[in-house]
Amino acid sequence: LTDAAGQPANCGIELQVSESAGGGGSEALGNASALRVRVLSATSLINKDTGLFGDVSDPFVRVRLGRQEFKTPTISNNLHPSWDTGNEFTFKVGEHDSDLELEVFNENYVRHDSLGSTTVALWTLPPEEWIRRRDPLKDGAEGQLEFE
């Protein structure tokens, strides 16, 4: 994958907007629209850990739409993580929901440090179609997030 400038992308996310949740194996959401998100990977993340003895950031991704929030599993000591389990989420899209927020964090015992974030405007997504994206992370240096 490449970014808008034709450079290799650092992150991936796949997105699918459904007009209703009746198909595709999603749980029933009534007449509401559904948004399915699959977090795939991140690259070139900032190291917020000490770096001593190979200790680097322990990333996870928080995905938020309105008041709904999900989180991927944490991957220890990895600045280029890939997720293949616990990485697919279904959101009920309300009439006031406008932006999908994705933020990568470094997991710590006391406080999680942000490694960068990206936002997707829902109106830009075509219905009933998976879209794979690789977005640069705001405040994440060279970090990118790939998702569908």
**pLDDT tens column, 10-64:** 445 555 555 543 333 334 445 568 899 999 999 989 888 876 666 789 999 999 9
pLDDT band, very low/low/confident/very high, at 65 (cuts 50, 70, 90): very high
Whether the pLDDT of residue 88 is over 60: the answer is yes
Share of the chain above pLDDT 70, in %: 76
pLDDT band, very low/low/confident/very high, at 142 (cuts 50, 70, 90): confident
Mean pLDDT of 76-95: 92
Whether the pLDDT of residue 118 is over 70: the answer is yes
Q: How far apart are CA 12 and CA 130, in angstroms?
A: 12
Q: Is the dihedral of CA 81, 82, 88, 94 positive or negative?
A: positive
Q: So what's the pLDDT on residue 140?
A: 72
Q: How far apart are CA 6 and CA 127, in angstroms?
A: 26
Q: So what's the pLDDT on residue 61?
A: 96
